[in-house]
Structure 1
């Protein structure tokens, strides 16, 4: 397994009140009304020094590592029962939990081919939800949703399904997420020339919009940090082969050109993750940085130059098109929860999503 070395970083830019209901007391003032009781009972655990208690909190509330390569996804065996012991322990443990826990976000990208078009999938899995974004491009081309010649945008106002889901509880307190982006495409599926309006980047813009709505409600108390890791089955296996063998076929100019195209396309794909109001760091496999030095910075700079119409214009990529769907999971059931067309003629309407 290749060890990442290249890292790119960037900096980012209440009290509760209780009101007593006096309606009943006004009617019958002789009977005192019961008030909600907080658990203030002293717990023997609080006899330990604060330093030891903090160490216990870190051990109990640490988020176990997950693997984006796991096809079955992941479950976090995380118990938060300690937060309900009493008020003081809740306050102490919550502070440790929010400042030290690193939550995983898995983003997987893949394609599916048909005789007439290519379907692009991007799934986003967090500890609290799963979303699948799908984009269908005719003739295998990576169409941009901003190109009016390719799509017919309805005249009626449309609210993206992302907006219908509220932020996660206390999401503004979380400080760090590890985002693992896995490209599951095969080498023959990599375009020979890179389209800067790629479908995958469009889909990830929707995913980033979802993260913004969930994790950055205003005002946010603490700076959020994303630790972004790039993974590719092709590049990972190729890097291992380069280390283990001296075969000339691996360093063939054509193969190198395809690897570079894949690397550029991956950087283009994750660019939306660099556009939120958060700090970020990008980690790529060491072999890529050694073989293609400077490509990461060059591609990100190019995407920044081309961002007009990609991100800033409200209607440019949030409006529906006839060729994308949004899927959500409730338990083990995956259902379509939005899209930009009448899906009665959609050949994927009754297709089972695995």
Structure 2
């Protein structure tokens, strides 16, 4: 937890440093800031001990197996999946093998994933924020809500999410071929990324706030039928048995937070769209995320799907905060301060027992591996 608190402090401190620079080109400062923070986040992810994160050691064993595997065996895995529907996500095995051609060190493999993901995330933030303060808030949100998954846990979905972030720019430009190409490649790493495809077509609808309000109003109904719906979908795609329902993983706090953010964003809709017309894409993405969020109490694995869309709150929350600018500087300062304090509270609440060690330090593996 201490390391992540230091990272959050650096996000704020370096942001304030760049915001005080008298450089006329504010976009230049924002770009340098984003690159600097992404570099820090790459180090945080890449330097971690193999025991940090629930799945890191499992992926370590997988990498060790794959690097000693022949290419014939790798291609057989691909063929078995697409021809006989055996195994899952063969693209990840190909990715492991490709990286192992350059290095057999798992630590460098972690860096390769971190570089790929944070290049995508940094570009995502740069292309979709207007000011340095928006980027600061986005990075704080990442460290509070998404660090524990993308930085230290899932390899396959981290790579697949990087693909969806790259694809999002083609969605905005209405370049369907390149959008689908990237998503289809990402789906070979983690097939859940295919759920990102409907976003392309849904965003052709007008007035997303109307549809979003309908989803919010019907959310209790969605909860009531969530067991039947979730189990039916799961029966069709039962490749991820390990993500079935677990009472201890019910994300009550996250669900409440997402609903609160959604309602606030809808209330401030007109002001937000005036600030950034592109935000209609963010509303549609979050709306899809809320639909899948209604299923997580039935099968917690649907959080894997929600992640593709919930990450857009990194763009919406800064816009919500900026929509209060006209209320005066004191109100604006109070709103930003309260937002940062609330985010830090959520971080401390959910990460109090989280342990981080660098790869050169000793750390005990989780009990599941012992």
Task: Give the TM-score normalised by the residue count of structure 1.
Answer: 0.26
* Higher radius of gyration, 1 or 2: 1
TM-score for the superposition, normalised by structure 2: 0.25
Which has the larger strand fraction? 1
